């Protein structure tokens, strides 16, 4: 298979003049993103010259001029008898933050926190935004910010590195293999498909819930006297949302044994209204005696609410029972929607709970795999530029993508298939638009004979560089196969399916 490589200007997007100097060594495709990887030999180029191609667009075309692979240059590798040198964007970080366990002034460990982002704007202007969240152990905020800044300084710009030969994976070329490449001046370009660009962006944690999960630095009493018979925390829905449950951070005090009751209420002039929209029980056995752990309750029936402001109201199942409860809160007032209120049972009105603070809470919502996929794709300011989703997503309860990048999230959503159980295929098309569609069981795209040759349904060879990835193939003597990945290396095509 002989495909032609076209290199595109990083900023202009126009073809660069490398006529006769490029040779495609291998390429691969997957059903969840189309173009995956390829390696190109750039004859006569030094590593210093190839450095300017990092991030440049790449298109592979066949003899008919059809673009069959779209992506970008991720790394350049120069192999010589003196050793192997490489410059790569794979470890580049120009937007960094640190996740750490906060060390409190009294020496005890606090909640896991995130620093603010630190950014190198110039690097972002050249290479696009590439994020990393470094997970650390117990640190003070100042130490965490020091680690974050050091991470950014060390990785904001690519640099030429000497590489252990054993760690460099370059497949043999068709005309003399690796030995010819060592003796012939030139550089390898290692490229990735545009779908891979989603790995540059971290998934914003907590998108499976709405709430406030900051460091616990205050406690509010619940049932500790008439003035705190209920506690309430406001929150805002920015769009119509289905909610399935809620969590808080309670602790039993003085022998309390009863459950906690949670309610959702609409806002009524800056305080909870009277009608109850949904209710849940936080069982007593889920509430700790010696610390403020997360306790959860599910609504009896999921409730779909319009955009607007609402209140989470918490109370005791037995207000006259022994002891009382305390709820974890944040006195730094980092939750911008508003602070907690307490209900004075004697005066029958909502008042300040005595300490101005935000309750620590989550309200869990139903997500949809198609909506999550769209968010993952459109989170990137460069790379993939749009999405066309020709499918209906799967409902997801309590899904949370914390600790994942957007590529991980996108693949997870694609793996779920459509709501009616059909597998999905995704390709990045012209304009860097991700197109997602269902794979229909009744459609067969090609035939694979016993000799390993692929044919179209008219018994003609498949068009060069157009492999039936994400499509059904009739395998002679063995039934049908859904092709999940395919490619070629050293002049030989390969396919993998299920």
Domains in the chain: ranges and CATH: 4-90+160-200 (no CATH), 95-144 (no CATH), 214-359 (2.60.120), 367-429 (no CATH), 446-497 (no CATH)
Q: End-to-end CA distance of the chain: give it in Å, rounded.
A: 24
**pLDDT on residue 491:** 73
- The partner residues of 219 in beta bridges, in order of sequence, read 328
Is the pLDDT at 294 greater than 70? The verdict is yes
**pLDDT on residue 110:** 62
Q: With contact defined as beta carbons under 8 Å apart, do 210 and 362 qualify?
A: yes
Q: pLDDT tens digit string along 180-221?
A: 455 578 899 999 999 999 999 999 755 678 899 888 889 999
Q: With contact defined as beta carbons under 8 Å apart, do 437 and 411 qualify?
A: no
- The partner residues of 321 in beta bridges, in order of sequence, read none
DSSP-derived pairing of the beta strands 32-43 and 424-429: parallel
Q: pLDDT tens digit string along 45-66?
A: 999 989 999 999 999 999 888 9
Enter the tokens of residue 327: 């709820």
Helices (H), 137-263: 141-155, 177-183
User: Which pLDDT band, with edges at 50, 70 and 90, does 444 fall under?
Assistant: confident
User: Which pLDDT band, with edges at 50, 70 and 90, does 165 fall under?
Assistant: low
Enter the tokens of residue 374: 């769209």
Q: What are phi and psi of 199, to 5 degrees?
A: -70, -15
Q: With contact defined as beta carbons under 8 Å apart, do 101 and 138 qualify?
A: yes
Whether the full predicted model's pTM is greater than 0.85, yes or no, is: no
Q: pLDDT tens digit string along 393-442?
A: 999 987 888 889 999 999 999 999 999 999 999 999 999 999 999 998 88
User: Which pLDDT band, with edges at 50, 70 and 90, does 172 fall under?
Assistant: very low
Question: CA 351 to CA 242: how far, in whole Å?
Answer: 30
**Alpha-carbon distance values, 426 to 128, 217, 399, 464, 493 (Å):** 23, 46, 22, 20, 21
Average predicted confidence (pLDDT) for the chain: 89
% of the chain surpassing 90 pLDDT: 63
**pLDDT on residue 23:** 92
% of the chain surpassing 70 pLDDT: 93
Non-local (6+) Cβ contacts of 354 within 8 A are 220, 221, 227, 228, 342
Q: With contact defined as beta carbons under 8 Å apart, do 462 and 454 qualify?
A: yes
Q: pLDDT tens digit string along 335-372?
A: 989 999 999 988 899 999 989 999 999 999 998 999 89
Average of per-residue pLDDT across 253-267:
94
Non-local (6+) Cβ contacts of 23 within 8 A are 5, 40, 41, 43, 173, 175
User: Which pLDDT band, with edges at 50, 70 and 90, does 178 fall under?
Assistant: very low
User: Which pLDDT band, with edges at 50, 70 and 90, does 176 fall under?
Assistant: very low
**pLDDT on residue 175:** 38
Average of per-residue pLDDT across 166-189:
55
Q: pLDDT tens digit string along 60-119?
A: 999 888 999 999 999 999 987 677 899 999 999 999 999 998 766 655 556 778 899 999
Place of tokens 């029972």: 321
Q: With contact defined as beta carbons under 8 Å apart, do 362 and 295 qualify?
A: no
Question: CA 483 to CA 468: how far, in whole Å?
Answer: 7
Q: With contact defined as beta carbons under 8 Å apart, do 356 and 220 qualify?
A: no
Question: CA 279 to CA 293: how far, in whole Å?
Answer: 21
Provide Rg for the chain, Cα atoms: 28
**pLDDT on residue 183:** 55
């Amino acid at each position: 298979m002989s495909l032609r490589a076209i290199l595109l200007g990083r900023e202009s997007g126009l073809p660069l003049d490398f006529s006769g100097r490029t040779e495609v060594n291998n390429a691969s495709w997957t059903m969840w993103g189309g173009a995956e990887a390829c390696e190109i030999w750039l004859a006569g180029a030094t590593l210093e010259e190839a450095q300017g191609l990092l991030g440049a667009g790449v298109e592979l075309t066949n003899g008919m001029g059809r673009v069959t692979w779209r992506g970008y240059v991720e790394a350049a590798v120069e192999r010589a008898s003196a050793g192997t040198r490489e410059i790569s964007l794979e470890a580049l970080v120009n937007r960094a933050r640190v996740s750490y366990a906060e060390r409190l002034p009294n020496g005890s460990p606090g909640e896991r926190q995130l620093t603010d982002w630190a950014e190198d704007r110039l690097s972002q202007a050249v290479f696009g935004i590439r994020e990393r969240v470094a997970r650390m152990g117990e640190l003070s905020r100042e130490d965490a910010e020091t680690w974050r800044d050091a991470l950014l300084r060390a990785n904001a710009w690519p640099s030429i590195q000497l590489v252990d030969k054993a760690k460099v994976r370059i497949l043999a070329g068709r005309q003399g293999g690796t030995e010819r490449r060592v003796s012939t001046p030139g550089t390898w370009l290692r490229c990735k498909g545009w779908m891979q660009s989603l790995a540059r962006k971290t998934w914003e944690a907590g998108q499976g819930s709405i709430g406030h999960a900051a460091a616990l630095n205050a406690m509010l009493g619940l049932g500790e006297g008439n003035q705190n018979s209920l506690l309430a925390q406001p929150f805002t829905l920015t769009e119509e949302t289905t909610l399935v449950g809620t969590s808080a951070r309670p602790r039993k005090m003085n022998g309390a044994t009863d459950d906690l009751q949670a309610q959702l209420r609409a806002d009524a002039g800056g305080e909870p209204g009277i009608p109850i929209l949904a209710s849940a029980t936080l069982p007593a056995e889920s509430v700790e005696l010696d610390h403020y752990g997360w306790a959860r309750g599910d609504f009896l029936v999921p409730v779909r609410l319009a955009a607007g402001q609402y209140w989470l109201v918490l109370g005791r199942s037995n207000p006259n029972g022994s002891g009382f409860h305390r709820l974890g809160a944040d006195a730094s007032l980092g939750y911008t929607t508003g602070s907690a209120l307490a209900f004075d049972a004697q005066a029958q009105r909502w008042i300040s709970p005595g300490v101005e603070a935000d309750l620590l809470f989550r309200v869990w919502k139903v997500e949809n795999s198609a909506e999550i996929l769209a968010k993952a794709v459109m989170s990137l300011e460069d790379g993939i530029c749009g999405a066309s989703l020709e499918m209906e997503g799967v409902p997801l309860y309590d899904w949370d993508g914390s600790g994942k990048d957007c590529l991980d999230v996108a693949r997870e959503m694609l793996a779920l298939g459509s709501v009616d159980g059909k597998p999905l295929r995704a390709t990045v098309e012209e304009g860097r638009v991700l197109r997602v569609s269902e794979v229909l069981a009744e459609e067969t795209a090609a035939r694979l004979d016993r000799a390993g040759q692929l044919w179209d349904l008219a018994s003609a060879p498949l068009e060069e560089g157009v492999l039936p990835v994400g499509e059904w193939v009739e395998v002679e003597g063995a039934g049908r196969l859904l092709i999940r990945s395919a490619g070629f290396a050293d002049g030989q095509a390969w396919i993998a399916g299920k």
